[in-house]
Amino acid sequence: MKARVAFLCTGNSARSQMAEGWLRHLAGDRFDVFSAGTHPVGLNPGSVEAMAEVGIDISAQRSKHVSELMTQPFDHVITVCDRAKESCPRWPGPTHLLHWSFDDPAAAVDSDEARRQLFRRVRNEILGRIKGFLAQETASLASGPR
């Protein structure tokens, strides 16, 4: 059975969407992956573009409200922004809560090129955290049940 992971953000437009795409791409055979927001605003085109640059298509993902996931069990709930962490609801059943704080590229008001650079930086930072998460999960599985 696959472990279930939910990434939460405020708008579910950029950071949580990219995290969902990365984990599904790198370990979708081991994890069922979801994302949602406390105040969803739609998938940001900058997220789609940044992920497409590394060969990952997230264009079919959609922005969802966290209430769509609240009745489902998750092994891990990972907040990727401070505001989502502050308003993260309580999850049913045993859930491992993690917090990873990333800058919000969707809030950037710089030039188009500066925005693209911010999306790329955050995309790459998320990749680093996902790789660390996968290494920790692999080590945890090797050491036996939690």
Which residues have a Cβ under 8 Å from the Cβ of 101 and sit 6 or more positions away?
Answer: 80, 81, 82, 85
Q: What is the DSSP letter of 54?
A: T
Helix (H) or strand (E) segment spanning residue 16: helix 15-27
Per-residue confidence (pLDDT) for residue 86, from 0 to 100:
64
Catalytic residue among 51, 81, 106, 122: 81
Catalytic residue among 9, 19, 51, 118: 9
Instruction: Locate 12 and state its tokens.
Output: 């579910």
Supply the pTM of this predicted model.
0.91
5 given a catalytic annotation: no
Contact 94, 77 (CB under 8 A): no
Residue-wise pLDDT for 46-68, tens only, equals 999 999 999 999 999 999 999 99
91 given a catalytic annotation: no
Instruction: Locate 22 and state its tokens.
Output: 């990365």
Per-residue confidence (pLDDT) for residue 41, from 0 to 100:
94
For the chain, residues with pLDDT lower than 50 are none
Alpha-carbon span 9 to 116, nearest angstrom: 20
Instruction: Locate 110 and state its tokens.
Output: 């710089």
Catalytic residue among 3, 88, 98, 127: 88
For residue 77, how far is the Cα from the chain centroid?
9
Residue ranges and CATH numbers for the domains of the chain are: 3-143 (3.40.50.2300)
9 given a catalytic annotation: yes
Pairing of strands 76-79, 3-9: parallel
